[in-house]
Every structure is written in C-alpha cells, then in structure tokens.
Amino acid sequence: MLKQPKYVKMRLVLLDVFTRTILSLETESKRRRMQLKLDQLGLTDVIVDLISHSDDFTVFDKCVWLGIAMLDGMNARVQEKFHVLITQQHEHSAEFLGKFKLHLDMLFAHPHTDHSNHVEPKSGLLLSQIMYFSPKTRSDLSEPTSKYQSASRQFRFLQLLCEGHYLRNQMCMLGQGNNASSCVNGNYDGNEACSRDAFLSMGFNLHILMQQLMEFQPSLISLLYPMDDVAYRHAYDFFDDRCARVEIVWPQTNVDHHHHASTTSNNHGDLISMYFPLHPICVCLTDRTKRRLQSEVSRDANKLNDFYDKTHDVIVEMQHQCTLRQYAWMAFLTRHLSRLKMAAFAWSLVLNALIVLYNHIDRQQVESPPPWIVQSAGYVHVALCLAMVTGHCINDVPLLFQQATTPSRTHVVSAYKQSNLSADNSSTLRFDSTVNETFQDVEDKVRAIGDPRMTRQHHRPPRWARVVWFVLWVVVWDAKTMYHLGLVGLSIGGAFFHQPLCFSFHVLDIVNRSSELRYVSKAIVYPGRSLLHILVLYLLSAYVFGFVGLVYFAKYFDKDDYNGCDTLWVCFLTSLDEGLKNNGGIGGFLAPSHRDTGDPLAYPRLAYDLLYYVGLIIILTNLAFGLIIDTFATLRTQHKENQDDLKDRCFICSIDCFTFNRMTKGFDHHTRHEHNIWHYIYLFVHLRKKHFTHYNGVELYLATRMAKRDVTFFPSHRALALEKLHDRNRPLDDTPKRYVM
C-alpha cells in the first residue's frame, strides 16, 4: 500500500513516527531493543523497498533518516538484514545503491540552487562534522534540511551499514560496478568522531601520520621535524608527549571475495607499530601502582595472560585516582600517603622515646596521668593516624568495595549473548584458523570491552546493601583495613585513656616500613596452612604426653611443694609449657629418676623423656623453623630473579638486553619507546574509553582479542627493530624471525 503514490503523506507520517519512536528512548540499550523489535516487524524490508522504488526525494530522505536511527550505535543483526535484502532477497538490489548516486548527483548538480536554508561549508572540518551525523543531533525532524545535511545523512547511513568494519557490506559497495562505485567508493572521512576540539583531533591524526611516515622513511625526519621553527617544535613536542606507541601482531589474512570472509593464512602474522593518543586518566597511573604490578605479575610462561588480567584492576585504580584528583585535599592526601605513613611511624618512635624518658609509673596511684609532653605528642600521633586511615579509606577501600560488587568479565560477555534474540548465524567472520565468529559475536565482544562493568564503574546497589557489603567485606575481611583501624584504636586508647602501653605496639609497624622484614612476615604467612598443621600435631602430641604423665609419671611432677599433674588439664598445660621452655624437653622439668636405686619406672621414664625431646622439640619445632627459613629464602630468590628479569629482559617480548644492546639502539630505548609496558596499559585504556563504533580496523581486532582474553597480539619473542634489521640482512627471507631466548 505504501508503494502507491496516493499514500505519500501516509508514508512520511509513518516514517517520521518510527524515527521518533526510536529517538525518544534515552538509553542505548533501550534503543537497541527497539531497533531489533522493529526489524522483526519488517521495518528493514520497508526501508530497502521504499529507497529502491520511490522516486520522491522527501520519502528517500525520510527513509535514510529512519535507517540511521535503526543502525545508530552499531546493530549487527540489522546490518546483516540490510546485507541480505540488498544482495540476495531483493529483486532490484542494484537500484538501492544506485538511488544514492542519483540523489547525490541531483544535490550537487546545481551548486547555487537549494530549496532550504543554504549552508556552505566554511572549512574542511565541516566534512568530518557532518559525516559523524547522529540522529540525536536534531530535535526537530520536520525542519527542512539543506543539501549538505541531506548528503551527510546519506553518507552517515552508508557508513553505519559498514559499522564495525562489516566486511560483507564493504565488499558489496565496492563491487556494485559503474552504477554506484562513484557514489560509495572513495575516501570519505567520518569513520571516527571528531573530539570536542576538532583541531586537537586533527593534530593527533597528523602527528600519528608523521610518526608512521618517519618510521618507514627515516629520511623524512629532518623535513617533518625542523629544528629552527620553535613554534612548530613546541607543537610537535606537545603531541609527542601525549601519544604512545606499541607493537602488535597483526594476522596475515587472505580476503575471499566470493565468500566475503577473512581467513588467517599465517600463524605468526605481521608485526606492526600502532600509535594512539593518551587518554587523560593515563596521567593517574601512580608509582605505587607500577611497583605493585611489577612485583605481583607472574614471570613464567603465562606472564602476558597474568599481566592482561591484572591490568583491569590497574585501569580501575587509574579511574579512581582521576576521580580523587578532582578534589584538592583528596589528591594531596593520596599523593603523599606513603610519606604520611612514614611520618606516623617516625612519630611513634619519638613518642615511645618520650615515654621512656618522662613517663614514670607510680604504683601507689592507680591512674597516673602522663606528663604533658607525652600527652601532647599522643594527640599529634592520633591526628597522624586519623589522616593515615582517611587516606587509606579514600584511596583503597572504594576499590575493594567495587571489586566486591562487580561481575566477572566472562559474565558481562555472556550477558550480551543472552540478551540477543535468536538470529541467523550461518555467516561467519573468521579472525583465526580455529575460531569462527559471527558478526553478532564481534558486536557482543566489542560492546563488552566498552561496558562500564568491565572497569567496575557500574550502578551501585541500594544504600542498605552498600552498608552491609562495606561492613562484611571491606572492614571485616580486609586485613589492611583492620590493621589501620587497629592503629587508630591503639592511638586513641593511649592518648585519651592514658594507656601509654598502647603506643608501644606502633613501633611494630617497622615490619611494613622495611622490605626485608616484610619478607620475614610473608615467610610466616605464606606457609601458614602447613605451620597450622604442625601446631595442631604439636598440641595433640603434648596432650598424649600429658595423659601418659598423669597415668604413669605423676609423682615426677612434684616440684617445690606443687604437683603439676593433679588433673589431666593441668598435666597437659604443664607438658606443653615446661616441655617447650626447657632445653631437654619435659625431662628437664620433671624430677630426676634413679636407675641405680632400682626405680621400676626409670627406663620407661627414659623413653618418655627421649620421645618428647626428639619428637616434639627436635623434629616438630625444627620442621616449623625450617619451613619458615626455606620460604624466606624462596621469596628472596624469587625477588632477586624478578629484579634481574626486569633489568635484563624485556617483559613484553622476553628478549634479553644483550641482543638489543648489540643490534639496535639499546635495551633502554627498546623498553621506553618500543615495548613500554605502561604503553600497553594505556592502549587498553584507549580501547575501553573509546566508543566501539569509532574503532578502526586495528582497534576492532584488538578489542575482539581482549574480549576473548587472547594475548596473541603481544609480540612474544619478536621486535620490529630486530625484524627490520633481519630483513635488511636477508632481503629474500620473507619469514618473520622469532627470537626464542
């Protein structure tokens, strides 16, 4: 019915209603569900049919506008539906893209004629602005459009058909022949949105282009970086400081034009360099976070997987630090938190020294107030401890709370898959030789990468639930938080309740101030399960020896008119206490036996003493000591190996420093500019913060790999500088060299 000319007004009204229905929804998830619902009802078929058959320019423009609303935000299912209708199921498929060429020719055939408000492009920036044309940018759909706005809509619609680098629609547009190639084949800027400052975005793009040119043509360095132009050099340094470079493995692919699929032809792939602008939160990567990541990340064969998993927490912490820096006092407190802890410990030493010098306990007086100098120092100590706990609460506790309320990354990815309606998954988009992925799978993965829940910035539970989680998880189960609260409690008890003894416990904080003592504490904590089992065995053995002593050797426990074995409980405590304190075990405490006087229990007593001494004192206690010492030695050795590995081997490619010092510009240059570990974290931030519809081809590939936790894009045992050197030495060898160390 809508094809008939007499229903033109009805067409326009219905198209306008459908467009407003989609645009009226505020959230992206609601708009996507509405897009899928309207596609199920056949609206995509109507759009293709009207564009192909209608000769009315107004109807065509409304259809394009509705198509933008149906595709905005990337919708793989609607894109695939358009592809099927254009190439397979529609009988006049060539007319669809032909109408775009026809209307563009009509728009620009008479440059001085315009039926609406004429808007001339004032600069080259207008092209990039109109190409990133979103249906949310215009609130009045009834307002007439200029020819430039109409052209921008058509370009935007064609761009959205290929959103996410959908290869099938790209090949469809490139293969339409003369009837449409001039319309859709060409360099149309707009695949990526300009930033708020278009000149800044252009500057980053030009700088990245210059870096790539200088990398492939070193002779251009003197031309692109003139030293005599001060203003140019300042601009160059500005963008150079805010751009990062990484090397990634790009899979070698062969494009099948008949099946429109991508298949991997080489398991190694090409090593390429990638430049990208730094996100503002990258300046919030603290030295404390860097040190913790370097010390905790694994150094074995799975170090890249472990590194990628830990970068999620690093990104969350960077985002949190960025939030804290919006408040001056929070930023100051967190930035100087380590110095504050050291100052609190130093003041604890001063306070205890004052207690030793000035505080004299009067045993005749139950409550003896401390001297004024000790009391004043105690108040200062309370202030330092409160500031230290406040810094810990605003710096670390929110991260623990977010971690407790965040779903896993696998759950986020699967949630997108479960939210999708059933669709035809017969067409696949292949990224490697073993995994076939539909275009819908690609959309699910890139959506998951940009999902706020992946960086733990999602909605929070109700207030009562936040309080419960805070008390149960953060306070009770977090040892560091409990430790800081304990320090404050002891400080308050010493200052306000006149208990100088509480201040003495603060000197034990030296364990946290010394790396060597931290290894001692770890040597006790790490084998804690084994030490607990040894302790239980020791207690049970002492109980058995106490029971035997009560039954057979009770008379030997008499000492100084006191019998330490009147009951089983007293005998157990005596066996446990005196047996551990005496050098000879329990035999050193018991009354001596006289074998030469015919004591019938002399030899059983000898066996009793020897078994206790050998079994409990020599074996069990030395076993515990040996376990602690062995763990301490292992931790020291592991720390030294990690430090040596950090100094002598690249973390990303695992190639030793000798190779780079001998063959390239040096190991330091390699770890700073080529395989900088922090640049890879900045890359993950860049991909997570950038909207997935703005990804270029390399970024889309990396996003899908990241969603699958596939770290094969890291240049393991490969470096671009070494491969270029190898190619110059052996020009006939096309196989990328792998340096296995």
Mean pLDDT of 600-607: 87
The closest of 413, 425, 394 to 321, measured between CA atoms, is 394
Using an 8 Å Cβ cutoff, are 494 and 374 in contact? no
92-96, 504-508, 511-515: lowest mean pLDDT where?
Answer: 92-96
What is the pLDDT confidence band of residue 188, given thresholds at 50, 70 and 90? very low
Checking if the pLDDT of 727 tops 90, the result is no
- Residue 187 and residue 131: Cα distance in Å, rounded? 12
Checking if the pLDDT of 433 tops 50, the result is no
Cβ neighbors of 163 (< 8 A, separation 6 or more) are 71, 74, 79, 693
The closest of 625, 630, 647, 644 to 519, measured between CA atoms, is 630
- Per-residue pLDDT tens digits for 384-422: 999 999 999 898 888 887 776 665 555 544 554 554 544
What would the two tokens of residue 227 be? 């030293």
pLDDT for 407: 54
- Residue 417 and residue 440: Cα distance in Å, rounded? 9
- Per-residue pLDDT tens digits for 446-494: 777 765 554 444 445 556 666 676 667 667 778 888 899 999 999 999 9
Across 79-88, 558-567, 589-598, 634-643, the highest mean pLDDT is recorded for 634-643
- Residue 551 and residue 565: Cα distance in Å, rounded? 9
Strand segments, DSSP code E, in 176-295 are 243-250, 253-256, 261-264, 270-277
- Residue 416 and residue 74: Cα distance in Å, rounded? 14
Give the whole-number percent of the chain exceeding pLDDT 70.
Answer: 76
Using an 8 Å Cβ cutoff, are 201 and 195 in contact? yes
- Per-residue pLDDT tens digits for 251-270: 875 544 433 433 333 446 88
- Per-residue pLDDT tens digits for 488-499: 999 999 999 888
What is the pLDDT confidence band of residue 111, given thresholds at 50, 70 and 90? low
Using an 8 Å Cβ cutoff, are 542 and 572 in contact? yes
List helix spans (H) across 396-475: 397-404, 409-419, 439-450, 463-469
User: What does the mean pLDDT of the chain come to?
Assistant: 78
**So where are the chain's domains?**
5-114+123-184, 331-507, 528-643
The closest of 169, 133, 135, 164 to 28, measured between CA atoms, is 135
- Per-residue pLDDT tens digits for 531-562: 999 999 999 999 999 999 888 888 888 777 67
Q: What is the CA radius of gyration of the chain?
A: 37
Cβ neighbors of 566 (< 8 A, separation 6 or more) are none
- Residue 672 and residue 609: Cα distance in Å, rounded? 66
Checking if the pLDDT of 186 tops 50, the result is no
- Per-residue pLDDT tens digits for 285-304: 999 999 999 988 988 888 89
Using an 8 Å Cβ cutoff, are 484 and 503 in contact? no
Residue 276 pairs in a beta bridge with 244
- Per-residue pLDDT tens digits for 655-685: 999 999 998 889 999 999 999 999 999 999 9
Burial 671-689, CB ≥16 within 10 A → b, else e: beebbbbebbbbbbbbbbe
Mean pLDDT of 67-91: 79
CA 335 to chain centre: 21
Long-range contacts of 256-264 (CB under 8 A, 24+ apart): 257/171, 257/175, 260/167, 260/168, 260/171, 261/167, 261/428, 261/429, 261/430, 262/167, 262/429, 262/430, 262/431, 263/430, 263/433, 264/430, 264/431, 264/432, 264/433
What would the two tokens of residue 23 be? 């645009």
- Residue 286 and residue 274: Cα distance in Å, rounded? 24
- Tell me how crowded residue 289 is: count the other CB atoms within 10 A of its CB: 17
Mean pLDDT of 272-280: 92
The owner of tokens 């592809």 is 83
pTM score above 0.75: no
pLDDT for 467: 67
Cβ neighbors of 374 (< 8 A, separation 6 or more) are 351, 354, 355, 358, 359, 500
First to last CA, the chain: 72
> In a 3-state reduction of DSSP, which class is residue 309?
helix
